[in-house]
Structure 1
């Protein structure tokens, strides 16, 4: 087996992580592709053309190409509006695959809309399909209700993909449980493979040096929130906790919020900043919260390493790469007890798990770390060890390689039997 097609309709590995619709899936696809390329696979990443002047094919890494597929207008479109273009995406992708006579051994679709396109390729070309959802529509709807912008047809599509895919990849035990309970998935056809971190990007560095580089106060208790600025990430909960920390514990912590649609934070570029600034004002923490703006991945190690603690309290998180990155930098993590976070963060060992939407509970845990720097250091060291043991991208790629080999072998055996 030599050639893999990674399908990621809205999340290109070339995009700037942290901006609109660019987050963990972009990171996952980019790093998995790179690692597979290092292992000698020829990898093509199929993603939707969202700019008119993009080349058809871009060399991304050794043995890895990004293929831009024409499907709908060649401009940025919110992912919630992309579903109608997926049949065209599938047809264009199949046409490319037929022109590219070497063929593919496995299709690996990422997100349910990529699955729509992949099912067409699987039917027309007979290539086995591995499916990673990254987020499940039924779980998302439970948590977001009317704020969920995807159509109800997503549920039927996901049901079909769970039935038809040769293997479904769950990113954590909670993901597996949701697939079985909500989608009647056969556990024998589901493999749990986590996301990872790149040791070349994320490793501990001296906190004082990191703070000096970022112009942070050297001795202020500093909290980091990093990721996309969207409501489900629960950033308002973190801001309220900073207010509680001041009011109930007498600790003036500094919260740095990294993310947004531009490097310069502004309501015009990132409307969510306006809502969050109002939350900070209401929480009595406006003077304690700094909106940093989007930063490149090459800068993130400094932010993680400069922080006393990394906090992420989303309502729903299928996996959550940022807690793993923070642990890789030797920083304690306080995370919401949801989704993948409850399996990556070892409660009481590498940080704490707290309920989502519970600012007082979060403030209590922040106060404990502020009062006990030795505990925070020990948790950071334990987090680094846990990240190295369980969440390297090379380890993730090795697990995925076994998944690919299994489905390719099973499909080949089926063809022989037929």
Structure 2
């Protein structure tokens, strides 16, 4: 891509050193820069929409060829306004909360009538939409967007960063005395269903007393104290490690520490945790929702289970616990699947092709 192409990215506040939130957006922009994209950032906290100063500063000081917003609302809505004011083409990448909706879980801006109207209008008035999963693609279609304006382009991971590796003594000590380690790296929020995994682990321990099993929970969130209390009440505290938030640079070690990763989400836009785990050669037991369906091939690189099904999670864990041959095959298949389908370089190349096509028009 030629250097004179200027892309204005409208994004949430991106993470600083060690932070995790929106790191996938930051990594994508960094890789695009390395490919020659002249990128400019308009970052803001959605709770403070008074960004006119930043808009004027950026638009007046650079020549923008394309506006690329992440999340249809509020960043895409702002991009839609700029598209009209400055007659620039607009791309919106949708991620989950902006187009998915679940009233029971209190999730999604489009669960509100006014939110649905705003998001639908915003998406109809952009040039292209990038959907990170087939579920997101279908959600855009349900909002009235023509299929030829939505591009399904799964997120990817750096396969050199996330790969099978040997652990140093710090991580080996965590699994000392255990022959089966289960990892969940999701926030302690209702939509991620961690309570179902905790209860499944309790049943697993009761039924497999000859095995020493460890459950490791990585991630912050509002329900972390509730889950600590649940673990205590179930009497499994000594075999559950709740570690809280972990710097992203350490996550590859935690994936490699585990035998299997469980992603018990009730709703999921893409599921980057799944991609990272597979790249590290670890099978995933995941809920059959959202972007997890694009990544887990049932019986090949993991298992799919109905969301919220405690017994199903337990049964799949038992299968891998008692069949080391199958576990090893799935670990190999996980890495093979990631290499073929989840390489971030392929996504970057596809985005650059899209930029070129738009500028050429």
Same fold at TM > 0.5:
yes
Report the alpha carbon displacement of residue 135 of structure 1 after superposing the two structures with TM. 1.2
> TM-score, length-normalised on structure 1?
0.79
How many Å apart are 1:372 and its aligned residue? Answer: 1.1
Residues 133 and 294, structure 2, Cα contact 8 Å, conserved in 1:
yes
Change (3 A) 1:106 1:218: farther
Cα separation, partners in 2 of 1:140 and 1:150, compared to 1, 3 Å: closer
Deviations 1:145-189 (A, max 9, x none): 3898986532111111221010111111121112212x0110010
Separation in 1 of the partners of 2:174 and 2:353? 45
Take 1:376 and 1:165, find their aligned partners in 2: how far apart are those partners? 45
Q: Report the Cα offset of residue 41 of structure 1.
A: 1.0
The 1:140/1:300 distance shift into structure 2, 3 A limit, reads same
**Is 1:143–1:316's contact at 8 Å kept on the other side of the alignment?**
no
Partner of 2:192: 233
Distance 1:210 1:311 in 2: 23
Aligned counterparts of 1:141 and 1:199: Cα–Cα separation in 2: 33
* CA positional deviation for 1:200: 3.3
Q: What is the alpha-carbon distance in structure 2 between the residues aligned to residue 15 and residue 177 of structure 1?
A: 35
- In the alignment, structure 1 residue 109 sits paired with structure 2 residue 60: no
Q: Give unpaired runs (5+ residues) of structure 2.
A: none
Query: Is the Cα–Cα contact under 8 Å of residues 101 and 110 in structure 2 kept in the other structure?
Result: no
CA-to-partner distance for each residue in 1:24-65, whole Å, 9 max, x for gaps? xx12211211111111111122211x6xxxxxxxxxxxxxxx
Q: Distance in 2 between matches of 1:391 and 1:322?
A: 12
Q: How does 1:343-358 map to 2 (within 5 A)?
A: 343-358=294-309
The unaligned stretches of length 5 or more in structure 1 are 51-78, 261-269, 411-418
Partner of 1:6: 9
Q: Give, in whole Å, the separation in 1 of the partners of 2:234 and 2:11.
A: 39
Match of 1:36 in 2: 32
Instruction: Provide the secondary structure at the position in 2 that maps to 1:379.
Output: helix
CA distance 1:153–1:321, change in 2 (3 Å):
same
Residues of 1 paired with 2:260 and 2:134: CA distance?
A: 25
The CA deviation at 1:208 is 7.9
How far apart are 1:191 and its partner, in Å? Answer: 0.3
Distance 1:128 1:219, change over 3 A: same
Displacement, 1:99?
A: 2.8
Would you say how many aligned residue pairs link Structure 1 and Structure 2? Answer: 356
Corresponding residue of 2:282 = 331
1:373 aligned partner: 324
1:189 pairs with 2:184? no
Counterpart residue number, 2:217: 257
Classify 1:303/1:177 alpha carbon distance in 2 versus 1 (closer, same or farther; 3 Å).
Answer: same
Aligned to 2:122: 161
CA distance in 2, matches of 1:210, 1:317: 32
TM-score by length of 2: 0.91
